[in-house]
Structure 1
Amino acid sequence: MSTPIRTKKHVFALDCPDAAALGRFYAELLGWRCQAGEDSDWVDVIPPEDGVGYAIACQQIEGYRVPEWPEGPIPQQAHIDFYVDSIADAAPLAEAVGAVRHPHQPGEGRGFAVFLDPAGHLFCLCESTE
């Protein structure tokens, strides 16, 4: 077995049509902060006080196309799960900052709800069992 890499930071980067706007969405949703990159095409969304070594990055690209899920020519390639104490409490907060509940909800009664961010990426609010 080989030695694993040792990482100092974990960043999940999302392609989007407007990096600043999507960065603001995730900062408001999570109570994190935006940090602009060296150019306007990249924004990091960072936990308070660089809390856990994780960040979400928003990368502006030309010709961005929204994933179509559960079926469509542009498949979902990834999504983010956010574990919360109560979906019923968290959902209105997510919607207030621009999230949209997806019409397809395979998690009803199973502890998760599917949403779209303003750029059309899927994310789930999951009921925490911890």
Structure 2
Amino acid sequence: MTAIATFALVALDCPDHFGLARFYSAITGWELDREPPDGPSPDDPDADWVQLRAPGGGATIAFQHVPDHRPPQWPGTEHPQQAHLDFDVPDLDAAEERLLAIGARKHEFQPGTTFRVYLDPAGHPFCLVQT
């Protein structure tokens, strides 16, 4: 089948787009595509947006500022997660220790043994998957 398009990124809504970008930068080692401005930037059309630079220019993660963001509630359907990210790791315990140190929260509901569910600082669920 011939592709219609090439996947470029996944974007997460959040109340602090630069803060959440730094959180995922600490997980992936990818750099932010720009630093936050020193003050308000009413003339900057990208003021509400920041991306991580993926090595080799592949698909990446973007973060969009949404002042009234309501985090998803997982599990459940009142405020569904809508999407989540998975990260492969060789050692769940070692990776968990590092995640908690940078601000992740381990979700109280853990449905499996080969993966673990966490919440990022904006409340988005994501998983570590043992490889």
CA displacement at 1:33 relative to structure 2: 0.5
Q: How far apart in 1 are the matches of 2:111 and 2:59? A: 28
Which residues of 2 match residues 20-39 of structure 1 at below 5 A? 20-36=18-34, 39=46
Q: How far apart in 2 are the matches of 1:127 and 1:32? A: 21
The one-character-per-residue Cα deviations of 1:74-124 (angstroms, maximum 9, x if unpaired) are 1110100001111111111111111110011001x2x00000000000000
Specify which structure has the bigger relative contact order, considering alpha-carbon pairs within 8 angstroms and separated by 6 or more residues. Answer: 2
TM-score (normalised: structure 2): 0.85
Gaps of 5+ in 2: 35-43
Moved more, 71-80 or 11-20: 71-80
Residue 87 of structure 1 contacts residue 127 of structure 1 at CA under 8 Å; is this kept in 2? yes
CA displacement at 1:62 relative to structure 2: 2.8
CA displacement at 1:23 relative to structure 2: 0.5
Which of 119, 122, 125 is matched with 1:122 structurally? 125
Where do 4+ consecutive residues of structure 1 move more than 2 Å? Answer: 36-40
Percent sequence identity over matched residues?
A: 45
Shift in CA distance, 72/6, structure 1 to aligned 2, threshold 3 Å: closer
Gaps of 5+ in 1: none
Which of 42, 46, 59 is matched with 2:49 structurally? 42
Q: What's the Cα RMSD here?
A: 1.8
| SS of equivalent residue, structure 1 residue 81 | strand
TM-score (normalised: structure 1): 0.86
Which residues of 2 match residues 1-130 of structure 1 at below 5 A? 3-7=2-6, 10-36=8-34, 39-47=46-54, 50-51=55-56, 53-107=58-112, 109=113, 111-128=114-131
CA displacement at 1:3 relative to structure 2: 2.8
